[in-house]
Amino acid sequence: MALVPPHGKERKLKPLLLEGDALKAELKKAEGLKKLAMTSMETCDCIMMGIGAFTPLDGFMSKADWQGVCDNMQLADGTFWPIPVTLSASQEDADAINVGDEITLINPEEGNEIIATMKVTEKYSIDKVHQCKTIYTTDDPEHPGVAKVMAQGPVNLAGPIKVLSESVFPEQFKGIYQTPAQSRAIFEEKGWSRVAAFQTRNPMHRSHEYLAKIAVEICDGIYIHQIIGKLKAGDIPADVRTECINLLVDNYFVKNTCVVGGYPMEMRYGGPREALLHAVFRQNYGCSDLIVGRDHAGVGDYYGPFDAQTIFDKVPEGALLTKPLKIDWTFWCNKCNGMASMKTCPHGKEDRVLLSGTVVRKTLSEGGDLNPNFSRPEVLEVLKKYYAGLEEKVEIKLHGAATGDAGK
């Protein structure tokens, strides 16, 4: 059996990253074009398109695409897509750019490096509140995804792009950063066809490990796929997370059942809609399944603990080939003396150690001790060392999805 094909009508990867002579020529041309600074999220989206992870997108969305994605989860041509991928500009920058212009997109966070060129096909404004309410179900500015939308410029620019750089990711995350072509080659070499992706922005605790091993039981292998774009304050940085994950895989997984990779996106904390986006680009990476557990891609108490599972039931048949591997709430049960879920454990809340990345971060950041069943000792050691070395502490709030109170 073959791997699941890439997303979109053509069923083939569509990387927008130039190479060789074409890259040299476009870089030379880019130097003389009007330049537009991107946000860190727009830069990451550019690179995701560059490596083919956002196949079949060929650039930043038009107003028709934006409207269709917000209202119906589909592009103007009918292709399934759950979250807008847009580029915004200040009024001043937008006024200096005409439809038909070619512009250079730069990353101000890395010395104004050139990331892409773009042919501007449309300038338009959006209803930001409408986007926030349809995508995030809220326009609360405390929601980090909402905050990003509200911080965008007043004008969106649409058009196809040519990507000229992957920025710092290949070097900074050597051995972790992967393109869809690379992950597909690894899976094919291993002879895998059914591959489950495990999405993470946290070091893996025992519940994560349990979910991954359930997937190993029913698939050919598991792809532990961690986000390496910018996270919110208080999240654990990628280098610490990577060390924890590698220790876990080396010591507690059967060899050749697990591949660890990273992708250059920035979290939107979009709960159900982001779970769908995670499935879309995992299809491009070659994954047939996406593990969707409790509060997938959530933040605070904006979503029910299993909203990210039920939203997959609304996807039209055939629109998305990567399917959710829906797994119930998992925890350590003292009476069962092991990991269990709501479906397998008959005991009460008082016997359960609910495992949450938020609880791990809050407890360790405050110098507290975790129940040893939260995570493997090797992982806890790395995390304790990291938090002990922090000079500035970020206050971390517990929410219902972390404590077991959500949805009760």
Question: Which residues are designated catalytic?
Answer: 201-202
365 vs 166, 235, 359, 394, CA distance in Å?
33, 11, 10, 8
What is the distance between the alpha carbons of residues 393 and 112, in angstroms, rounded to a whole number?
30
Contact 270, 138 (CB under 8 A): no
Q: Residue 18 contacts by C-beta under 8 Å, 6 or more apart in sequence?
A: 26, 162, 163, 164
Contact 287, 322 (CB under 8 A): yes
102 vs 120, 146, 157, CA distance in Å?
6, 30, 11
Residue with tokens 């053509």: 10
Tell me the residue ranges of DSSP E strands in 90-132: 102-107, 113-119, 122-124
Q: Residue 239 contacts by C-beta under 8 Å, 6 or more apart in sequence?
A: none
243 vs 139, 226, 359, 394, CA distance in Å?
36, 12, 20, 21
Q: Residue 298 contacts by C-beta under 8 Å, 6 or more apart in sequence?
A: 269, 271, 307, 308, 401
Residue with tokens 């159900």: 272
Q: Residue 372 contacts by C-beta under 8 Å, 6 or more apart in sequence?
A: 380
Q: Residue 70 contacts by C-beta under 8 Å, 6 or more apart in sequence?
A: 84, 130, 131, 134, 135
Alpha-carbon dihedral 29, 31, 37, 42, rounded to 10 degrees: 40
The first and second tokens of residue 52, run together, are: 């083919």
Contact 319, 307 (CB under 8 A): no
Contact 340, 331 (CB under 8 A): yes
Q: Residue 350 contacts by C-beta under 8 Å, 6 or more apart in sequence?
A: none
What is the distance between the alpha carbons of residues 49 and 41, in angstroms, rounded to a whole number?
12
